[in-house]
Amino acid sequence: MLFFTQCFGAVLDLIHLRFQHYKAKRVFSAAGQLVCVVNPTHSLKYAPTRCAAAQASAEQGILPPCHHHEAVHDPQLVPCTCPLFSCPWEGHLEVVVSHLRQTHRINILQGAEIVFLATDMHLPAPTDWIIMHSCLGHQFLLVLRKQEKYEGHPQFFATMMLIGTPTQANNFTYRLELNRNQRRLKWEATPRSILECVDSVISDGDCLVLNTSLAQLFSDNGSLAIGIAITTSKVHSSEAEM
C-alpha cells in the first residue's frame, strides 16, 4: 500500500507538471518560444550569501576580523551564487556553470527567446525560482525571488545575471515580459555580472519588481509566465560594425 501510494503521488505530480507545461506551450507556441517549467526552491530559514553578509557589515561600519595566520584569499575565486543556499563552494568563473548544474541541479535552457514558467507562487517568502539561460555564446542566471522587503508585504523580484565579468555584461540587454488578459508589462535593462551579488541587486531595486496584487494579475492558477529575450546592446553592435 505504501509503495502504491508513493507511485500514485509521483504520477499525479507528473500529470500536473505536464498539464502546466501544456498550458504554457499552448499560449506561447505561436511565438516559437521554448517553455521551461521552474519549480520553487523554498527555505524555512533564509541563509544569506557571504557577499550579502559582507555588504551588511560594510554598511554598518563593521570590518571583518583580521587573522594574520590565515592564507591570503584568491581574488579570482567566485563564491557560490545560488540564492537561498549557504553553500561554502568557491571557484573560478569558468566552472560556476558546472557547479550550479551538478550541485544545485539548476536546469539550463538554450535559445534567444524562452518562457520562464514559475509554479506555486503562493508559497511563503523567501522563495526562489532559478534557471540558467544559454544564449549568444554566454550563460545567464535568471532569478525570480519572493521576499518580504517590508514585514507582511511580500514582493517578487526578477533579475538576469551574466555568468561573466561586468565588462562582458555591458555587451547585452535582456527583456522580461509579462503578457496576460490583454495586459503587458516589460522590463528591459543591462544584466548584472554574477561577480556582483544577487542580494544587492534586489536590495537596490535594479530589477523587475512586482507587488502581490500585480503578480496575481499576470499569474494563471498560481503560475507566472515570464518571457525572456536577450540581445546584444546597440553600443556593442555599432562598435562591431565599425
pLDDT tens, position by position, 210-225: 999 999 999 999 999 9
Whether the pLDDT of residue 138 is over 90: the answer is yes
Looking at the domain assignment, is residue 183 inside a domain? yes
Per the CB < 8 A criterion, the answer to whether 170 and 196 are in contact is no
Looking at the domain assignment, is residue 18 inside a domain? no
Looking at the domain assignment, is residue 55 inside a domain? no
pLDDT at 17: 45
Torsion of CA 95, 37, 121, 228, to 10 degrees: 70
Which phi and psi (to 5°) does residue 206 adopt?
-85, 65
Q: At 80, which CATH number?
A: 2.60.210.10
Q: How far apart are CA 1 and CA 71, in angstroms?
A: 56
Looking at the domain assignment, is residue 239 inside a domain? no
Q: How many domains does the chain have?
A: 1
Closest to 115 in 3D by CA, of 12, 234, 30: 30
For residue 209, the enclosing domain spans: 33-42+75-232
Looking at the domain assignment, is residue 208 inside a domain? yes
Looking at the domain assignment, is residue 125 inside a domain? yes
Looking at the domain assignment, is residue 58 inside a domain? no
Whether the pLDDT of residue 167 is over 60: the answer is yes
